[in-house]
Structures are given as structure tokens and as C-alpha cells.
């Protein structure tokens, strides 16, 4: 199932330098690529390697092309962002190979008669679809998923096996939800009454935009009185927890194990590294980037890179630094005392 | 489906000031409430807003009522804890709206003939119920749940879709377990034998009290030789891990992503913020409150508020503070040296 | 279902001192054991308790046997590693009690006709098995599991309920995967193109060795271009996230809530405490042990014990130390200034 370079460029753009009739069948890294592969150069430090690759074709930037274009014997696709081009080319090859079940509802699925399911949708084994669900064209719902009453799944979105997507929640087009994710579980809303917790019903929904990706076993809670909102193009990795009433801005990405407390608002184009924690009721502006394992306990109003995690050390060294950390306040006091004494001493000195 | 204020007060208590025949149909926040809503004031700083709300009725405390009661034209319900009253009123409205499937076992469920299932229970699609399970009155087991051999589910408890509740574990009455939670998986018990891990069978159970709430994708491991115990009224948020042999005291609440190591005992009425970690084999006394993202590595014998997390900073500032943190022990040494030198100097000074 | 001590020793080794015809039916801790139990002493500080146990037999080390052997009236099994012996004995008792379903495929399972399933395998209710799956002898696949196209499950491996094991992934023999785990979901591979994320297809697999244990709701992502590899004897607790392309060395164990970023390589015989975070693209050598709640942001080339977490304190004390931590760089500057001044002062002093 090979593809002509000419066809690839027609679909994905870029400037082809070389024979459009050369055929490639997949993508491979610079050093393992062979004559049936296309490869890519996204980091200038690999220019020498790229010039020597055995691939039939090379995706590279104009700047890299100027330096090594002449010395590479194969075909070149010149494009501003070779890494993104690689991603799109890989998608193209992958979609051609993908085995997609035939449209229709598996015999073992349990579907409420009031659900509206597009004829082009695929509903897998042991799926449960409750009343008034709306499933658009090209949707794929894999084995064991449960779609709650009145939920809506937009065109070409795929739910991997065992996703739970609860009542009245919605996701837009071209989304992907990975196995075990739970969308629309109740938020953690409780009132304390003399030491006993009283549950606050969670009557909001989860509203998810287009082109959103939600990782395996990630959970996004429904809102209490308002909706939890996940913007267009948001990418959430595995094991993430998003609390009720949160709003995550368009094209923000979060790595695995992030936790976001309830009612926090995160801007657009942010990135949160793995296991970052965000307390509840905070606002993080657009274009904020937070290093893995940091804890955000105040709002962030200025774009930029933030971090905060205790440095790793040999266990015995950490024990010493932790002991000092525990008494940092007194260490500061001692420095203050020293400063005062020195001030007195230096004043006493004759000039 | 509106309700007379008189009926609400009859059910939930509180002192009604105003016409008991006024009808309300739902709860809304102060600023969006209209004439069909009841609203609530739980924080005195919103008194002005409350006095101006368009809601038909206002829930408030005696203290707030003294200040704004006269200036608010609608009906008032005066109660000691308006926030808890709001929670109960919201529950009341929500229960009236809730669509509950008819009692009975769905045709696609797989139920062992030895299981005892109350006639008022609801067993959803694709549920698996193994031998000797006991399911009490009013229980709702949603799609795709798996209930292991000999487990017991108390009256009016609900298991959301895809909960796994393993062999011999028990939960009391009025509980809620959210989607994807796993109760009674084996604890992480291993003996090391010359570098190779040997599994220790986990023969205890998970015993859960009444009125317990367990969040989506949370895991509670069964005990090794004894049981893991979750007390009455405990509320666990999503993505929490409770290790084997733990005991969590009554009415303790934990926010998302908390991890509790094996054999730790947590007291009553504690709160653990998001992503708090508790090491194994610790004891935490009653009424301990731990701020999000803190790590508990020693037992806590005194009630109170605890915290411990590295402060967030601009990335370049954090790099500097982290570098100093890494060498805190030597910084303390330098301060000690200075103190010694100063002591010598000041002694040498003529009085 | 009791067992002669003679038979136990024949199966598990150790030197029996006492009557081989004594029968025991289970294991119990030192202080609760009775005449039908065998017990064990793995920590010398419990020698006195061990000498007084009511158990019919005691597992202990040669060193402990020398001290208390004579004073304990029951039978003894002397072995180099009593804790590992306890684990194996407990396994023996547990396997005899275990209720195992009959081999065969449950009527409600959905199995592709091209799947190859050994006649001794057990396939539970509501399981989905896709095309070209290979399931070896003695495998048990519990209710609600989903096995993707072309996956392979080695002999005697058990998948607990609701495991998702995706396309082309493989696990060896004698493995255990606990409920809700997801193996082979896509790695978090994205290219940024002008602020918009473009998905990079994940075409690698997850390859898991023999004797591996994977905890409840743990996720292991498939590789991007290469495979994610989990070595023999690896033990992963619950709620763990392993990113794409990672390699975890043989006999490494990770406690709950650990997160490992993509493309990191972890050596053999390592232990990671609960909630440890490992950034992506790092290498950790063999025999590294990391304390719970630490964050690994650089590679570790030297075996040993490592740690790094902020110490817990009373909330008001933490506020003070955190404030100093935030300004550690300026504190160091002040110490430097003091050192300079002192140097000047002491130089000025007459010798």
C-alpha cells in the first residue's frame, strides 16, 4: 500500500524536490529508514545523519535544505514545520492501514430505541446506549462503552473500549477518548453539617469541543450548577483528574497524572507537565507552561514558564537538606542576627 | 414539578418567614436566580447581593437574617447552616427529576443463580454477578459492573457503570460508587527472594460502611491478612488509591488523586487535599487537615492543619532556589561558621 | 483442606524440625495463630512472641532458630528467607481454596472466529476478543475484558475484570493484570503546528515479559515507533502511568500512583515508592531505590537510595518555611555578603 510522493504533497502541502513518482509505504527514523520509507529532519543537529539516510525521501525545513539539500541524493519535501509534517504523513499512512469495523450496531449492544444513531456509526460489542443519545456520522464506539441518557457524540469521534460518557454530556467532532476514561461523573461537592458531609447534587454537564483527545483512565467531572468545559483542540494524557466547573482553554495540553481542582480556569495554549497539581478556584492565563511535578496554589496572571519541585538527592543528603528546610525560618533569623551584629561591628570600626 | 415552600420546610426544617404557598422549582445562585428559584446565602460578604436577588426565596442564617432580612422582599428560610440546607434542598429537587430504571434485571446481565437479589433492585445491561452475592433493597447496579463471589451491597446503594466490586467485599447502605472504581483488588504484597518478587496472597476484604461515596476510577485494595476498612460517611473523590489494610475513619474526606500507602490508619473527620500522599504504616489522628500536594511521611498525633509543598515560581527563579535547596546543609554550615567567627570577634572587642 | 507439614516442605523446601504428619490449614500472624495454623518469624525483634505462639508450626531463619528453637514446643521449618517462604506457603493454601470457573468461553462473550483460544482457557461473561488474538493454556480472562486485534496472552496469565489489552500487545506467562488496567493505549505524541496539536500515530506495541503483575487502573501506553517494554518479574501497583517507549527492567517494582514520562529507561531491580514521578527521556540504572513522592528530573547513573520531597509541617510553620524557600537565592546572597564583610573585618584585625 505505497503512495506516490506527488500524491502526498498534493494532500499535505510542502515543496517537492525530486521525482513525484517515487513510492513510499511508511515513515521511519533517519537511521533505520530504507528505500521504501520517507523520513524527517526536525532538529538541525542531525543534519549529517539526514544527509546520509537511506530513505527514499526526506522531510526538512528550508534552512536545513539549504545546508544539506545538495548532498542528499533522494527526494526532498521542504516545509516550514517538518515535525508536524511528519505527524500528518504518519496519520496518512496509519489511516490507510487501519482496520475499521463495518458500520452498524453489534448484536450484543444494548441500545435504547429513542437513541439516534447515524447509519455510518459503529457501535461495538456490549455497548450500552441510553435514551435520547445522539450519535453523529462516522462515530466509533468500541466494546463495553456506556453512553448516558441524552449525551451527544459529534461526527467522527471515537470512543475506545470501556469509556463511560454520562448523561447529557457532549463532545464535538474528531475527538478521541481512550479506554477507561470517565466523562461526567459527579463533582466532589459536599456541605459539612456538624461533621457529617451532605452531598450537593451535580446538575451541570461536561461540554467538550472539537478535536479533543482524552487519555486512558482520565476523569472529567460534570459541573455543580454550571458546566465543566473543555475547549477545542485540548489534549489530555492518561490518569488526569479535572474537577467540576473547570474550564480548560483551547489547545491546552496536559501530561499524565495532572490534577485540576474544582472551578479552576485554565487558559488557551497552556502546557502542564506530568503530575502537576492545580488547586481549586484558580485562574491561569493563556500561554502558561508548568514544569512536571509542580504544585500551583495561586492564580497565574502572567504568561511564561513556571516550576516548583523539591530537587532529588541521595537519600542521606536529602535527609540533611530536609532537616534544614524544616527550620528555614530560624536559619533566616540567624542570618538577620548576624547582619545586625555585623552592622554594629562595622559601625564601631574607625574609618 | 414545583414545590411549596411550606412542604420544603416540613421536610428539611428551618424557619420560614413568608408565604408557605409560594412555589419554587429549583435552586440557583444568588445572581442568576429568578422567581421560580430558591437561592442561598452562605457567606456574609455576599449580603448585599442576597438582598437584591430576584429569587422567590432565600435560605440564610439567623445572623445574616438580622442584617438583610428586612430589606429582602421575598420569603426567607432561616437555618443555622444555609450551605447544608442548600445541599439538602438541591437533593430534594434532583431526586424528583431523576429518571430511575424500573426494578429488575436487564436481559443482558449475567447473574449466578445463587445470588440473592432484592426484587426492588435494578441490575443494568452487561452486568456480571457471581455466586453468593447479596444485593439489598433499592440497590442500583449500572451497566457493565462486575460483582465478585460473595460480595454484599447494602440497601439503596448505587454502583455507576463499570464498577468492579470483588469477592467477599461489602458496602453498607446509601452508598455511591462512581464509574471505573475498583474495590477489592489485591494489595501490593510482595516478598523479595534473592531479587525476585514473590506474591503474598491477599486474603482480607474491603469493608465499607454506610453513606460512603467513592469517586470515579478510585481503587481500594483488599487487605492482606486483615480487612481494609472504610468508615461511615467517608467521601473519596476520583483517582484515589487506598492501599491494603488501611483504615479510614468515619466522615473523613479525600480530594482527587490522593494516595494512601498500605496499613495506614487515618482518623475520623479528617480532610486530605488533592494529591496528598500518605506513606504506609502511619497513624493519623482525628481532625487532621492536610493541604493539597503535601506528603505525609510520619504519623500525626495532634489535630490541626498541616502542609508541605515546594512553592511555585518562575522557572528561572525556581532553578536558583532549587540549586540552593540542594545545598542547604552547606548554607547552614556557612551560617554556623559566621556565628563562630562573630562570637570570637565580639569577644575580642573591648567592652 | 489441611496439609501435612511433610508435604509442604517437599513442595517448598526448608528443613523441617518436628513431626511431618502434623496438619495445618492456613497461615496466621504470630499472635493470632492457633493449632491449625502455621506462622512465621521474619523480624528478630519478635523472637519472644514467636517462642510463645500457639501455632502448630513456625517458619524461621537458622539464626532465629538457634536462639528460640529450643524453647518453642511446635514444629519448625528452618529456611534462609522466612518471609518469602511465608509468601509461597500462603500461595499454596490460597490456590487450594481458589474457586476457578470451568474452562471454556462464556455464552455472552463476543469472540472473533479467527482468535486462537486454548481449550484450557477461561473466557468470562461480556468479554470481547478481536481478530487474530492468541490465548494460551490456562489463561483466565474475567468479565468485561477487551482484547484487541492480534494481541497475545501467555500461559496461565490472568486478566481480572474490565482489563483493556489493545491491538498487537503481548504479555508472557504467569502474569496478573488487575481490574481496569489499560495496556496499549496510544502514547501522548503530539507535534505543535502554529499553536495547534497534531497527533502522531502510535505504531509501537506494549511487550510484557513473564511473571508480571499490573495493578488496578494502571495504564501502560504503546510505543510511538518502537515498543514499550516491561521486563520479566516487574510488579506495578495501582494507578500507575507508564508513557510510550519506556523500558522497565526485570524485577523492578513500583508502588501506587507512580508516573513515568515517555521514553524513559528504568533499570533492573529498582524500587519506586508511591507517587514518584520520573520525567521523560531519562535513564535510571539498575538497583536504584527512590523514596515515595520524589520527583526524578535527571538521569541516575549510580545505584543507591534517592529522595526529594518537601517536609510536612504545621500549616503556619510551612507558610514561613515556604516564604523563605521562595527567596532562598537572596538568603544565600546575604550569607555571601556577610562572609565578605567578615573577611574584611578579620583581615583588619591585628594578628
Element (H, E) at A4: strand A3-4
User: Which of C27, C87, C126 lies closest to B198 in CB terms?
Assistant: C87
CA distance B12 to B15: 10
- Closest residue by Cα to residue C18 from C76, C67, C97: C76
Alpha helices in A156-206 (DSSP H): none
ipTM of the complex: 0.95
Q: Which pLDDT score is estimated for C249?
A: 98
Contact, C238 vs B221, CB < 8 A? Answer: yes
Q: Which residue has the cell 490507510?
A: A96
User: Which of A84, A293, A313 lies closest to C307 in CB terms?
Assistant: A313
- Closest residue by Cα to residue B233 from A219, A190, A224: A190
User: Which of A185, A203, A342 lies closest to B178 in CB terms?
Assistant: A185
Task: Show pLDDT as tens, one digit a residue, over chain C (351 residues).
Answer: 789 999 999 999 999 999 999 999 999 999 999 999 999 999 999 999 999 999 999 999 999 999 999 999 999 999 999 999 999 999 999 988 888 889 999 999 999 999 999 999 999 999 999 999 999 999 999 999 999 999 999 999 999 999 999 999 999 999 999 999 999 999 999 999 999 999 999 999 999 999 999 999 999 999 998 999 999 999 999 999 999 999 999 999 999 999 999 999 999 999 999 999 999 999 999 999 999 999 999 999 999 999 999 999 999 999 999 999 999 999 999 999 999 998 888 876 554
Q: Which pLDDT score is estimated for C349?
A: 56
Contact B311 C328 (CB under 8 A): no
pLDDT tens for residues A164-181?
999 999 999 999 999 999
SS3 C149: coil
A343 contact residues in C (CB cutoff 8 A): none
Cβ of residue A256 closer than 8 Å to a chain C Cβ: yes
CA distance B29 to B37: 9
B144 contact residues in A (CB cutoff 8 A): 126, 128, 144, 146, 162
Contact C191 A86 (CB under 8 A): yes
Contact B312 A304 (CB under 8 A): no
CA distance A51 to A66: 12
Considering Cα of C50, then C52, then C54, then C56, what sign does the dihedral take?
positive
> What is the secondary structure of C46-90 as a DSSP string?
GHHHHHT---SEEEE-HHHHHHHGGG--SEEEE-S-HHHHHHHHH
Distance from C241 to chain A by nearest Cα, in Å?
A: 7
Task: Show pLDDT as tens, one digit a residue, over chain B (351 residues).
Answer: 789 999 999 999 999 999 999 999 999 999 999 999 999 999 999 999 999 999 999 999 999 999 999 999 999 999 999 999 999 999 999 988 888 889 999 999 999 999 999 999 999 999 999 999 999 999 999 999 999 999 999 999 999 999 999 999 999 999 999 999 999 999 999 999 999 999 999 999 999 999 999 999 999 999 998 999 999 999 999 999 999 999 999 999 999 999 999 999 999 999 999 999 999 999 999 999 999 999 999 999 999 999 999 999 999 999 999 999 999 999 999 999 999 998 888 876 554
Judged by phi (left if over 0) then psi (alpha if -120 to 50, else beta), residue A280 lies in beta
Kindly state the cell numbers that stand for A35.
528505500
For A58, other C-beta atoms within 10 Å of its C-beta total: 29
Distance from C108 to chain B by nearest Cα, in Å?
A: 8
A140-141/C152-153 β-pairing: unpaired
> What is the secondary structure of A47-101 as a DSSP string?
HHHHHT---SEEEE-HHHHHHHGGG--SEEEE-S-HHHHHHHHHHHHHHHH---P
- For chains B and C, count residue pairs whose Cβ atoms are closer than 8 Å: 227
pLDDT tens for residues A289-302?
999 999 999 999 99
A315 is catalytic: no
SS3 B240: coil
- Closest residue by Cα to residue A308 from A297, A317, A323: A297
Q: Which of residues 307-336 of B touch A (CB under 8 A)?
A: 309-316, 318-319, 322, 325-329, 331-332, 335
For the segment A332-339, the average pLDDT, to the nearest whole number, is 93
Q: Bridge-partner residues for A75, per DSSP? A: A57
Kindly state the cell numbers that stand for C323.
516564604
Kindly state the cell numbers that stand for C236.
506495578
C243 contact residues in A (CB cutoff 8 A): 256
Q: Which pLDDT score is estimated for C96?
A: 87
Judged by phi (left if over 0) then psi (alpha if -120 to 50, else beta), residue B13 lies in left
Of all residues in chain A, the percent with pLDDT exceeding 90 is: 93
Considering Cα of C12, then C13, then C18, then C19, what sign does the dihedral take?
positive
Long-range contacts of C110-116 (CB under 8 A, 24+ apart): C110/A106, C110/A108, C110/A125, C110/A126, C110/A143, C115/C147
User: Which of C180, C235, C329 lies closest to B320 in CB terms?
Assistant: C329
CA distance A241 to A258: 6
Judged by phi (left if over 0) then psi (alpha if -120 to 50, else beta), residue B162 lies in left
A110-111/B116-117 β-pairing: unpaired
> What is the secondary structure of A6-30 as a DSSP string?
HHHHHHH--EEES-TT-EE-EE--T
Q: Which pLDDT score is estimated for C286?
A: 98
Residue in chain C nearest A321 by alpha carbon = C308
Q: Bridge-partner residues for C144, per DSSP? A: none
* B-contacting chains (≥3 CB pairs under 8 Å): A, C
B180 contact residues in C (CB cutoff 8 A): 180, 217
Residue A311 has, within 13 A of its CA and on its CB side, a CA count of 19
Q: Which of residues 84-143 of B touch A (CB under 8 A)?
A: 84, 86-88, 90-91, 93-94, 99, 106, 108, 124-126, 142-143
Kindly state the cell numbers that stand for B98.
431523576
For the segment A17-30, the average pLDDT, to the nearest whole number, is 94
pLDDT at A160 over 90: yes
> What is the secondary structure of A222-277 as a DSSP string?
PPSSS-EEE-TT-EE-TT-EE-TT-EE-TT-EE-TT-EE-TT-EE-TT-EE-TT-E
Number of H helices, E strands in chain B: 6, 40
CA distance C115 to C133: 5
CA distance A58 to A46: 12
Q: Which pLDDT score is estimated for A349?
A: 56
Predicted confidence band at A310 (pLDDT cuts at 50, 70, 90)?
very high
Cβ of residue C293 closer than 8 Å to a chain B Cβ: yes
Task: Give the phi and the psi of residue A198 in degrees, each rounded to 5.
Answer: -110, 125
Residue B227 has, within 13 A of its CA and on its CB side, a CA count of 15
Contact B203 C292 (CB under 8 A): no
DSSP B111: E
Contact, A67 vs A46, CB < 8 A? Answer: no
pLDDT at A71 over 70: yes
Residue B24 has, within 13 A of its CA and on its CB side, a CA count of 30
Contact, A41 vs A82, CB < 8 A? Answer: yes
Residue A119 burial class via C-beta count within 10 angstroms: exposed 0-12, middle 13-18, buried 19 and up: exposed
CA distance A251 to A211: 9
Residue in chain C nearest A91 by alpha carbon = C201
Amino acid at each position: 500500500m505505497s503512495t506516490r510522493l506527488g500524491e502526498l504533497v498534493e494532500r499535505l502541502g510542502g515543496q517537492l524536490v525530486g521525482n513525484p513518482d517515487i513510492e513510499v509505504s511508511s515513515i521511519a527514523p533517519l537511521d533505520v529508514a530504507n528505500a521504501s520509507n520517507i523520513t524527517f529532519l526536525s532538529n538541525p543537529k542531525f543534519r549529517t545523519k539526514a544527509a546520509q539516510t537511506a530513505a527514499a525521501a526526506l522531510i526538512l525545513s528550508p534552512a536545513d535544505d539549504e545546508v544539506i539539500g545538495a548532498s542528499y541524493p533522494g527526494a526532498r519535501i521542504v516545509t516550514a514545520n517538518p515535525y508536524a509534517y511528519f505527524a500528518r504523513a504518519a496519520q496518512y499512512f496509519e489511516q490507510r492501514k487501519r482496520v475499521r469495523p463495518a458500520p452498524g450496531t453489534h448484536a450484543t449492544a444494548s441500545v435504547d430505541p429513542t437513541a439516534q444513531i447515524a447509519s455510518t456509526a459503529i457501535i461495538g460489542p456490549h455497548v450500552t446506549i441510553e435514551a435520547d443519545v445522539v450519535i453523529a456520522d462516522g462515530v466509533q464506539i468500541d466494546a463495553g462503552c456506556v453512553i448516558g441518557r441524552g449525551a451527544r457524540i459529534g461526527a467522527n469521534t471515537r470512543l475506545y473500549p470501556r469509556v463511560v460518557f454520562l448523561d447529557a454530556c457532549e463532545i464535538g467532532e474528531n475527538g478521541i477518548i481512550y479506554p477507561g476514561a470517565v466523562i461526567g461523573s459527579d463533582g466532589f461537592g459536599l456541605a459539612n453539617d456538624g461533621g457529617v458531609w451532605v452531598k450537593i447534587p451535580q446538575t451541570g454537564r461536561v461540554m467538550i469541543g472539537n478535536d479533543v483527545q482524552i487519555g486512558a483512565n482520565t476523569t472529567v467531572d460534570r459541573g455543580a450548577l454550571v458546566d465543566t468545559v473543555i475547549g477545542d483542540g485540548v489534549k489530555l494524557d492518561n490518569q488526569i483528574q479535572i474537577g467540576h466547573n473547570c474550564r480548560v482553554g483551547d489547545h491546552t495540553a496536559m501530561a499524565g497524572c495532572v490534577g485540576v481542582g474544582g472551578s479552576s480556569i485554565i487558559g488557551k495554549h497552556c502546557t502542564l507537565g506530568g503530575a502537576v497539581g492545580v488547586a481549586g478556584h484558580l485562574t491561569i492565563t493563556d500561554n502558561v507552561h508548568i514544569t512536571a511535578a509542580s504544585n500551583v496554589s495561586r492564580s497565574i496572571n502572567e504568561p511564561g514558564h513556571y516550576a516548583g519541585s523539591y530537587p532529588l538527592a541521595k537519600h542521606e543528603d536529602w535527609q540533611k537538606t530536609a532537616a534544614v528546610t524544616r527550620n528555614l525560618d530560624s536559619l533566616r533569623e540567624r542570618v538577620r542576627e548576624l547582619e545586625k551584629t555585623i552592622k554594629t561591628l562595622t559601625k564601631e570600626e574607625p574609618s
